[in-house]
Amino acid sequence: MKSLFTLRKTSIFFAAVAIAVATLLFYEFHHPQGKNLPSSSNIKCMESPEYFVIDNDPGLPGLDVVAKHKKNTNEMIPCADVVASSDVVVQNSLPEFVLGLTENFLIVDSGTAPPPRGLEIYDLDVQSSTYADTYSPPISITTGTVTYWASTKQTVTKTNCPDLDQYTADGLGAVITSHVVLDLSTLSKKELGEYRCEPTQ
Write the pLDDT tens digit of every residue in 152-201: 999 999 999 999 999 999 999 999 999 999 999 999 999 999 999 999 98
95 pLDDT above the threshold of 50:
yes
**What is the pLDDT, as a whole number, of residue 114?**
85
Alpha helices (runs of H) in the chain, residue ranges in sequence order: 2-30, 164-169
146 band by pLDDT with thresholds 50, 70 and 90: very high
Residue type, position 138, single letter: P
Instruction: Note down the domain range covering 88.
Output: 2-200
Stretch among 23-27, 86-90, 106-110 having the lowest mean pLDDT: 23-27
Distances (CA, A) of 100 to 71, 93, 107: 21, 19, 5
59 band by pLDDT with thresholds 50, 70 and 90: confident
Report the pLDDT averaged over residues 98-106: 96
- Given a contact cutoff of 8 angstroms between Cβ atoms, the answer to whether 21 and 187 are in contact is no
**What is the pLDDT, as a whole number, of residue 192?**
98
Question: For the chain, what is the domain count?
Answer: 1
Residue in 94, 92, 122, 101 with CA at minimum distance from that of residue 44: 101
56 band by pLDDT with thresholds 50, 70 and 90: confident
112 pLDDT above the threshold of 70:
yes
60 band by pLDDT with thresholds 50, 70 and 90: confident
77 band by pLDDT with thresholds 50, 70 and 90: very high
Q: pLDDT of 3-19, one tens digit each?
A: 433 334 444 444 444 44
Residue in 19, 190, 184, 180 with CA at minimum distance from that of residue 101: 184
**What is the pLDDT, as a whole number, of residue 30?**
33
**What is the pLDDT, as a whole number, of residue 117?**
93
- Given a contact cutoff of 8 angstroms between Cβ atoms, the answer to whether 178 and 149 are in contact is yes
Which residues of 56-154 form beta strands (DSSP E)? 63-69, 88-92, 96-102, 105-110, 117-123, 128-142, 145-151
